[in-house]
Amino acid sequence: MLKKRYFVAGTDTDVGKTLVTCALLNSAKEAGLKTLALKPVAAGCEATEHGLRNDDALQLQAHMTLNLAYDQVNPVALTAPIAPHIAAAQEGRRLTADRLVGFCRGAMMQPADLTLVEGAGGWRVPLNEREYLSRVPVELGLPVILVVGMKLGCLSHALLTAEAIQRDGLALVGWVANQVDVNMAAYQENLDSLRQRLPAPCLGTIPRLPSACAKEASTYLELDALL
């Protein structure tokens, strides 16, 4: 099969990008595929004896099949759980798209059937005074999977994000509805509105799960459309 590479974006922070990424990795592993996952920049890391570690990146590392060092999975780790450019400034660092692209290209030399690069926050998260994280998938030429956090306000967030992705010249290959608000009013009507308006197929709808279990979440997703 051809090697498949995608960027996993979200309509906002805490919408389930990592859950969806790990669920796709789980499905690919069960299909016998070699998988690679990257989190180029992560804010909200904890100090450990091995250095700064981010829970999302650790989950990616645990669910992919290739054996990659943490620093390759998450090359830029920041302490404060805030916007990456602000967290970096607090540490006297400056983020650049070129550097993140270089890290990704180096790691993506590994032989994987499916590679997933997970973003941070939403599509237009700033990296510095001029650049946004969205430049990374643009430079890498990665088609995009959009994770929509199903909650009040998600329609505008999802449609604007899809417009921005296409305006940046990238293909939106699919989207996943992840129910982050179990009490969301008119859930089905909102889901139907997204199906009608988003210019890509829905790859699955994940209900609110008791725990963020990638294996369980994978049962709600359709991997074949990506492969």
Q: What is the DSSP string of 79-114?
A: SSSS-HHHHHHHTT----HHHHHHHHHHHTTS--SE
The percentage of residues in the chain with a pLDDT greater than 90, rounded to a whole number, is 95
Q: Is residue 28 part of a domain?
A: yes
Q: Is residue 225 part of a domain?
A: no
Give me the half-sphere count of Cα atoms (radius 13 Å) on the Cβ side of residue 227: 19
For residue 210, name the pLDDT band (cuts at 50, 70, 90): confident
Q: Is residue 70 part of a domain?
A: yes
Residue 1 has pLDDT above 80, yes or no: no
CATH number for the domain harbouring residue 88: 3.40.50.300
Q: Higher model confidence: residue 184 or residue 1?
A: 184
Q: Is residue 135 part of a domain?
A: yes
Domain span including residue 43:
4-218
Q: Is residue 140 part of a domain?
A: yes
For residue 6, name the pLDDT band (cuts at 50, 70, 90): very high
CA distance 150 to 15: 8
Catalytic residue status for 34: no
Instruction: Name the catalytic one among 3, 29, 34, 39.
Output: 39
Q: Is residue 224 part of a domain?
A: no
So what's the pLDDT on residue 227? Answer: 84
Q: Is residue 223 part of a domain?
A: no
Give me the chain's average pLDDT, please: 96
User: What would the mean pLDDT of 113-139 be, rounded to a whole number?
Assistant: 97
Q: Is residue 150 part of a domain?
A: yes
Residue 77 has pLDDT above 60, yes or no: yes
Domain count along the chain: 1
